[in-house]
Amino acid sequence: MACKLICIDMDGTLLNSNDEISRRNLEAIRKASENGVQVAISTGRLFVSANYYADLIGVKTPVIASNGAYIRDKNTDKVIYKSLLGYENCKKVINVAKKYDMYAQFNTYDSIFTEKLVYSSKFYSKMNETLPEDRRVNIKITSDWDESFKKYKNEILKCIVIDKDCEKLKLIKEELLKEKGIQVVSSFRNNVEVMAKGVSKGNAVGILADFYNLTREEIMCIGDSENDLSMIEFAGIGVAMGNGDELIKRSSDYITDTNDEDGVAKAIEKFVL
């Protein structure tokens, strides 16, 4: 059955090691789009960041952001799906992070809340320097988490904890996995990401499938990390990057080249063009 929807992860997949989209990747995506195939960004990043890259590749398909907690139509700006982390879950996560003396950062579709400009917030702050104002991530420094959680309880979608101490992160992840009401994954060895229970990229791709009235067999998903597993398993064609985690490779239907070797383009050329 012909592929009608391609969902592509960003970091470690569409973007190379320099956070750039290669010319070959860009051309393959545009050719697929010209042939009537919908191409969607599916990422753990905030919507405002993902939307910037979606504009770069010239697609009008809805963007899947925050690991599937937020889906927004680029044509109408209509929010197709939104799953809030929730006040009580936010409190659970911050308490575990503080127990291990680590910084947790919470995000809405366009903002990051943090105690200190480190890791994700520092990364986005640097990106903001080269972006127009309407593409920048709002960075909010907070000293009172409870006040922030109450004020933004209807907006916070995801939390991420990043640290160089991967062993300590394993302990945090194990503890969070025991909690009810949350979904816990990682997109790199140095992070733990938390959303509301049931939120995943796979669930989001399923929502897009219904949106376009497609079957799973008409969908290809491409990714590299644990947070991509659900959509790799959902898709009729699940493609793992050559630089991807072994878990993703074992679960995929096909392994393409790395993100520095135009792996996305080669998968599209093989299965779509």
Distances (CA, A) of 136 to 85, 152, 196, 261: 22, 19, 25, 29
β-pairing, 254-255 with 38-41? unpaired
Q: What are phi and psi of 159, to 5 degrees?
A: -125, 145
Coil/strand/helix, residue 86: coil
Which residue among 9, 163, 228, 245 is the active-site one? Answer: 9
Q: CA nearest 67: which of 172, 184, 176?
A: 184
Q: CA nearest 73: which of 34, 114, 45, 109?
A: 109
Active site residue 165: no
Residues 23 and 89: their CA atoms lie apart, in Å, by 41
φ/ψ bin of 213: left (φ > 0), alpha (ψ from -120 to 50), beta (otherwise): left
Distances (CA, A) of 47 to 117, 157, 189, 233, 271: 20, 11, 23, 23, 28
Residues 118 and 177: their CA atoms lie apart, in Å, by 24
Count of alpha carbons within 13 angstroms of residue 202, beta-carbon side: 18
Output DSSP code: residue 270. Answer: H
Catalytic positions, written as ranges: 9
